[in-house]
Amino acid sequence: MPPKIHKGEQRTPEWFQLRCGRLNGSRAGDMLSTIKTGEAAARRNLRVELCLERLLKQPLDSDGYTNAAMEWGIEQEPHALRRYEDAVLGGTLDTLTKVAYVADELFMAGCSPDALLEDGVIEVKCLKQANHWAIMREQKIPSKYLPQLRHNMWVTKTNWVDFISFDPRFPERLQFYYERLWRKDADIEGYEKQAVVFLEECDKEVDFMKMVEHGHPKW
């Protein structure tokens, strides 16, 4: 079943509501967190947050918190996409589709890609200078972003994701890095299995807490 694409702007009240209670790409790394014994705190905390949002029917982060680094990244994103259009597409920005949110129609999951193409998804990072420096030096996608990229391909049902790192404070030829991650190389089936298990845990937790809320005989 194809996902549902919501047009509009990100970081609006409507956008926060669309994300409410869903496993989103920015938290995929937390969902995959593991430790040697027991459950990783990041995974447990994420499950509680999503379950609470479902019970409250409202997002916990709807205040739209940003910091200077986030604001700078938001400002630079259009410039990064223009560089991508020039370097990769060789056409116009009309070939890129800007969306607010993409919602999976089977599972409580979704993502907020920076742009969509017919068969791919774009993820832009405008990072601190040290982070962009490391990417340019290593010439590869940092491993910490791979869960988000895999998640976004899973939700959007696309065959590839283009990762972009952009920093206009660098010399011209060092400002832009892009790399394509193909679906066949990202073990999307394996990711889906892990995501489904996690979301089933969330469903059970919500059902249990609803029984507690409404006075299950045990209490």
Higher-pLDDT residue of 142, 218 = 142
pLDDT at 136: 98
Q: Which residue ranges make up each domain of the chain?
A: 4-213
Lowest mean pLDDT among 135-144, 198-207, 209-218: 209-218
Res 91: pLDDT: 67
Query: Pick the residue with more confidence: 109 or 70?
Result: 109
Q: What is the pTM of this model?
A: 0.93
Which pLDDT belongs to residue 214?
86
Q: Crossing angle for the helix pair 146-156 and 188-213, nearest 10 degrees?
A: 80
Report strand pairing: 160-166 vs 120-125.
Answer: parallel
Q: Average of pLDDT values for 46-67?
A: 89
CA contacts within 13 A on the Cβ side of 159:
2
State residue 177's pLDDT score. 98
Does 205 score more than 70 pLDDT?
yes
Percentage above 90 pLDDT, the chain: 85
Flag whether pLDDT at 217 surpasses 90.
no
Mean pLDDT of 118-144: 97
Q: Which residues of 98-137 are buried (b: 16+ CB within 10 A; e: fewer)?
A: bbbbbbbeebbbbbbbbbbbeebbbbbbbbeeeebeebbe
User: How much is the pLDDT for 66?
Assistant: 75
pLDDT for the residue numbered 216: 66
Q: Rounded to whole angstroms, how far apart are CA atoms 199 and 101?
A: 19
Counting other chains too, the contacts that 4-11 makes at CB distance below 8 Å and 24 or more residues apart are 4/102, 4/103, 4/105, 5/99, 5/101, 5/102, 5/116, 6/99, 6/100, 6/101, 6/102, 6/103, 7/99, 7/100, 8/99, 8/100, 8/101, 9/100, 10/100, 10/101, 10/112, 11/64, 11/66, 11/74
Q: CATH assignment of 4-213? A: 3.90.320.10
What's residue 16's pLDDT?
A: 96
Q: Which residue has the tokens 């019970």?
A: 55
Can you give the pLDDT at residue 65? Answer: 67
Decide: residue 1, CB within 10 A, 0-12 exposed, 13-18 middle, 19+ buried: exposed
In tens, the pLDDT along 10-41 reads: 999 999 999 999 999 999 999 999 999 989 99
Element (H, E) at 54: helix 41-56
Quick one: average pLDDT of 122-131?
Answer: 96
